[in-house]
Amino acid sequence: MSDLAKDPWAKLRAATPARIGLGRAGAAQPTKATLDFQFAHARARDAVHSELDVDALTAELKPLGTIQVASAAPDRVTYLRRPDLGRTLGQGEAGKLTGQSPCDVAFVVADGLSSTAMQSHASPVIHHTLPKLQGLTVGPVIIATQARVAIGDEIGAALGAKLTVLLVGERPGLTVADSLGAYLTYAPTPGTRDSARNCLSNIHMQGGMDYETAATKIAWLCREALRRGLTGTGLKENAAAIARGDSGPALPSGL
């Protein structure tokens, strides 16, 4: 008897990471399926609650200069309960950013809802992207803890950056706990709406967007954003142009 005849769900399971056709043992799931679920749930919880190892990340980002800042959330528990505090810098933190030379692009690394994603993927994505930004000035990498996406607006404004590329740990799921997102914002300023950003999601090495692809898309969006003076709904990714390795034209809004 073939494997497919023994298990008609095998082919479908091979095509998706979703938990389907798990079978049963009496009135419950098989032991293996139960243990796999508990393991995935534990990984997701760890990704949310673990603290970012800033020293290790700083070492991985060398020779790039880094500046560490913290949001207004004093600890992880408060951060999870008060999303608003994660969107602004803590008292006195903006002073760490003064005195920097204005730049075209500033990278901001925010732990978000998955410090695991930051620890694993932030440095490789940045190192893959930088060679594609030749001719642009890039500021120091800002490592922001207990931080959400909007904190990049205050950071970018304080740095005098024309554009911020904020890397953030995305909400972990039971399939992937270390997915990274990238948000690009032109002319960052506090109060910027999310519709004024471009987002790349699902950056990870378990079937998601790989580092080289992410870096190519980020670099293309950076150049187009600076050329056109905007990000968000008015700037659409042109996959054909990215594949050719050129810088445009960007697709018009609405396509």
Q: What is the mean pLDDT of the chain?
A: 89
Helices (H) and strands (E) in the chain, counts: 10, 6
Q: Is the pLDDT of residue 254 over 50?
A: no
- Which pair of tokens denotes residue 120? 């694993």
**CA angle in degrees (0–180, nearest 5) for 153-242-148:** 20
pLDDT of 248 reads: 57
Interval 148-201: pLDDT, tens: 999 999 999 999 999 999 999 888 887 788 899 999 999 999 999 999 999 999
Alpha carbons 252 and 255: distance in angstroms, whole number: 6
Q: Is the pLDDT of residue 142 over 90?
A: yes
pLDDT of 4 reads: 55
Domain 54-244: which topology? Rossmann fold (3.40.50)
- Which pair of tokens denotes residue 85? 């505090």
Contact 25, 182 (CB under 8 A): no
Alpha carbons 131 and 246: distance in angstroms, whole number: 15
**So where are the chain's domains?**
54-244
Interval 18-40: pLDDT, tens: 888 888 888 888 888 888 888 87
Q: How far is CA 38 from CA 28, 122, 229, in A?
A: 14, 27, 47
Count CB atoms within 10 A of the CB of residue 169: 28
Q: Is the pLDDT of residue 65 over 90?
A: yes
pLDDT of 250 reads: 57
Q: Is the pLDDT of residue 234 over 60?
A: yes
pLDDT of 148 reads: 95
* Strand boundaries in 121-213, DSSP class E: 141-145, 161-169, 180-186, 197-203
pLDDT of 255 reads: 35
SS3 90: coil
**pTM, to two decimals:** 0.85
Average pLDDT over residues 43-63: 88
Contact 251, 242 (CB under 8 A): no
Alpha carbons 223 and 203: distance in angstroms, whole number: 20
Contact 230, 193 (CB under 8 A): no
